[in-house]
A and B are shown apart, each in its own frame.
Chain A
């Protein structure tokens, strides 16, 4: 079973539209990591959040960690075909460096 719950499981968005993915834990997150994976490939590191309330942005992708450090969201603005893929949240939930992952959210961008 996954210790991190991601929602939605999949989504289809029209090119140019925004989308949001959520990642929720019942435990405190000591570090929250967002990765992107294309089918059959490895994980590409996107962003890491450490502090409650932290927000980071890179190009059109913004990630936030809530104050309680139990939930994170990933928001993509004006989606493009290059944003298609599987987005995974990973977290250190035992403060021991190893990561637990959600099951992933599959994003499809329609032209």
Chain B
């Protein structure tokens, strides 16, 4: 079956603008994760969904960041009033959670804030 897909693959925006990043998980996976990866670093956790609800959003850096998963499948990460420091690769992963929590990652969206 298809893997995790993310769109767009690249997004260039200006400081202060609003952006939306989309993640389409592996079909049937109930768990969905967003991570952010800066150059030369490993991914850092942002938010975790189990079904439609955000089970853990402790990694969101501030209230400019928000994510939804209204139907328990596709998720959208929303960033308001973007700042240059938001520039990074945003990675999405999904997992069936059963029996183990192998997380399968998408190709990422490279966000550049000018």
Contacts and interface: CB of A to CB of B under 8 A. Distances in A.
Interface residues of A, number: 25
B108 A41 contact: yes
A98 B42 contact: no
Interface string A77-99: 00000000000101010001111
Interface in B13-69: 31, 33, 35, 40-45, 48, 56, 59
A8 to B, nearest CB: 14
B43 A43 contact: yes
B100 A98 contact: no
A76 interface: no
A67 B40 CA distance: 30
Contact of B101 (A40, A42, A92): A92
A40 B4 CA distance: 16
Contact of A90 (B42, B95, B108): B42
Contacts of B103: 33, 45, 90, 99
Contacts of B100: 31, 48, 50
Interface in A32-47: 33, 35, 40-45
B45 A102 contact: no
Interface of B: 4, 31, 33, 35, 40-45, 48, 56, 59, 91, 93, 95, 97, 100-108, 110
Interface of A: 2, 4, 31, 33, 35, 40-45, 48, 50, 88, 90, 92, 96-104
